[in-house]
Structure 1
């Protein structure tokens, strides 16, 4: 992701590079011109130094000839050394145009030095000394004239260069103007593109914010960039999605509350009708008690006990199903139910109990064990001609109480187990209380607020084991 800071640095770098290239090109061109110009000036200076050195040496020679003092002699020696040094420098001025003239020029300088050396070894007033002194003056005049000729030749030789400098100066001014205009145009275009890459995403984000302010949460927020603004747009879009989901949840919640209110009204009506319908079960309950007492008085104690068990089971089933009871109560109901079923199946049905009495006070939803036992009787014991055995184990597992209901019937398939644990109603034949196995699973999970409260282990032909994990801390038991 390219940040805005990186874009600014890139743009600044491009500007600096362009300006640096222009500056380097102009500096290089100016450097080449300056080098050549300095070379020409240096040639003029060398020729000028030769003329000055020759004049100085003649002046010092005349002073020495007039007064032969050590001081004047030293000045003459210094002037002569300067002339010799200038003579060697003159070789730098040589070219094809002035080769012949420069050779003579160098010979004149050598002749002047030789004449001065010869003159310094003669008597001042001798005829030869006067002649050599005149000769030095004549040579000096030749050197001055030839210096002017060489300078004039240099001027003529480098005249095209001077003119080219003037012309190039004019062209350079034009080139500079065009380069400034072109660079300014490129910078304006680059600045516009750079500003557009920042302002365009900001405008898109502003437009999206305006749409959200109007309550339009369905339009996706997209910003075509690769910087912090794109990240901000993605975050803004996530916020839009969350707000939209929240609004939908609020609408669904309002809908559910409305449906719940309607269900409460229907529940009140249902309770009223249920109160009316309880007249017949209570009448049946009272009738069973009357028959039980009559059978007892007539000596049919087994029939009397059976009628008492049916009456107690009916009384237990008439209570509200959403209340909680103790495990002891559930086991008593299971015992009464098995008494009724044993009257039907006689010795074909056996019940074995392995109960830890310290676990009987835990809370459990009403009508939990009896539907499981009933399912075992109908689907495991009844189809088997030789009957079967149902075993109930109650164990203390420290954090929870484990209730294990085991039968030796035909078992059940994985598909059936999955349907039961997924709280789907399984269509089966047989008699029941109307409270299916799947409903028991659902009520247990709602009551304990966890999904691992029940487990089924079974396979076809090997019986079934139902494991219940009943937490010890569940609250009070409601009668």
Structure 2
């Protein structure tokens, strides 16, 4: 796998290499032009030094011939060495003067000057006056000729330099144009590489972020990302695609599991609805039997009708929505059964605002609460038991209160009933109920139906009775 860091390092090295190549070419072209200028000026200086040294040699020889001073002899020897070195330098730089046809003749005069000067010094040392006088004259003539020839050579060299200067100017322009092209090419390559590398990194990241946003919004069916590079972005893309597939599968499994759980709960609820408590049926049938024995069939028929209505209603789906009027009708039938059962021991009252009966609530909401008030509240009382159902309207809500004057409940028991833990349907507290639906089952369905947590409140103290209050929001104009 080629890492992003490796790509960036490679791009950096290429850019540095291009920059160094351009810089080296600029240095090379500048050095070459400088070298050409240097060679030309060196030739000028060499010719000037030869002319100056030729004059100096003549002056030293002439002074020695006149004054016979050894200091002039030493000065001559020094000038002679310089003239010899200039001769050697002229030979090395002969290529610079290829256009000067008299260069060899010029070197011959330099050597002649040296020879004639040596001859003059020897004649002076030997005292040959006639000979050294002629030699001095010859030295002066050769020295003067060298100086004149130097001026001629400098003129020729300057003419040649003019041509060289024009050539160097053209080469300088060519080098400058080439350097500009090289820098332009380097910048173009750098920008192209930056675009390729940046695009190879940014484009997949942009697509990946867009897909991540779609996933966060719940869309798991977006198109797959195609990343051609073999780097960390590709690894990230493959990991994201695998995560998206696995999340989609997991969500589908969760949906299937939720649907299965819902089916199981529905089956449990249906099972509870179909499990009429044997104690309730036994007591009710005993009453029916006694009434059939003691009186005419009218009361017996009314009681059987109430039992039939209650049993039929208890088999309706718990998830269904019914009107408050239907719930009140069932509660009244239940009141009739319990009043018949307990006779003067228990009194049932209802205070109903008729304008609120069109409000919808979950099925089997009121009857389990009323039954709970009977079983756990007033049933243990020997006499004076009271269960009251009241329904009225208060500021956009329907207030339903089920009150009893029974034994009441403790704060600990009230907290347990109001908690959101799942109710244990096998609890002994549910024994004696006609439907097996307890108070916490009612609370759970109210929370789901209205989407609130405090739809049901309990106000109770031990031995002071219990009041259960339902606060039902009015969702429709026709309600209340």
TM-score by length of 1: 0.51
Which of these residues, 197, 202, 222, is aligned with residue 199 of structure 1? Answer: 202
Contact residue 214 and residue 220 of structure 2 kept, 8 A:
yes
Contact residue 220 and residue 237 of structure 1 kept, 8 A:
no
Q: Is the aligned partner of 1:255 residue 2:255?
A: no
Aligned to 1:75: 75
Deviates more, 1:103-112 or 1:188-197: 188-197
Shift of 1:207: 0.4
- Provide the rounded CA distance (Å) in 1 between the counterparts of 2:265 and 2:101: 126
Aligned to 2:138: 135
Task: Give the CA RMSD over aligned residues.
Answer: 3.1
Aligned to 2:20: 20
- Provide the rounded CA distance (Å) in 1 between the counterparts of 2:9 and 2:99: 58
Instruction: Mark the runs of 5 or more structure 2 residues left unpaired by the alignment.
Output: 277-480
Alpha carbons of structure 1 residues 126 and 105: separation in structure 2 relative to 1, 3 Å: same
Contact residue 205 and residue 221 of structure 1 kept, 8 A:
no
Describe how 1:291-370 pairs up with structure 2 within 5 A. none
Aligned to 1:53: 53
Shift of 1:50: 1.7
Match of 1:226, SS? coil
Shift of 1:31: 3.9
Q: Deviations along 1:260-281, whole A, 9 cap, x unmatched?
A: 3344457679999xxxxxxxxx
Alpha carbons of structure 1 residues 234 and 98: separation in structure 2 relative to 1, 3 Å: closer
- Provide the rounded CA distance (Å) in 2 between the counterparts of 1:240 and 1:5: 28
Alpha carbons of structure 1 residues 100 and 245: separation in structure 2 relative to 1, 3 Å: closer
For these two proteins, the number of residue pairs brought into alignment is 273
Aligned to 1:238: 242
Shift of 1:223: 4.2
Which structure has the higher relative contact order (CA within 8 Å, separation 6+)? 2
Aligned to 1:184: 187
Aligned to 1:227: 231
Contact residue 54 and residue 83 of structure 2 kept, 8 A:
yes
- Provide the rounded CA distance (Å) in 2 between the counterparts of 1:252 and 1:222: 28
Q: Deviations along 1:306-354, whole A, 9 cap, x unmatched?
A: xxxxxxxxxxxxxxxxxxxxxxxxxxxxxxxxxxxxxxxxxxxxxxxxx
Contact residue 221 and residue 233 of structure 1 kept, 8 A:
no
TM-score by length of 2: 0.51
Shift of 1:71: 3.4
Shift of 1:217: 1.7
Match of 1:121, SS? helix
Contact residue 221 and residue 234 of structure 1 kept, 8 A:
no
Q: Deviations along 1:71-129, whole A, 9 cap, x unmatched?
A: 33222212111112212222234468567522221221122111211111223792432
Contact residue 221 and residue 236 of structure 1 kept, 8 A:
no
Deviates more, 1:54-63 or 1:170-179: 170-179
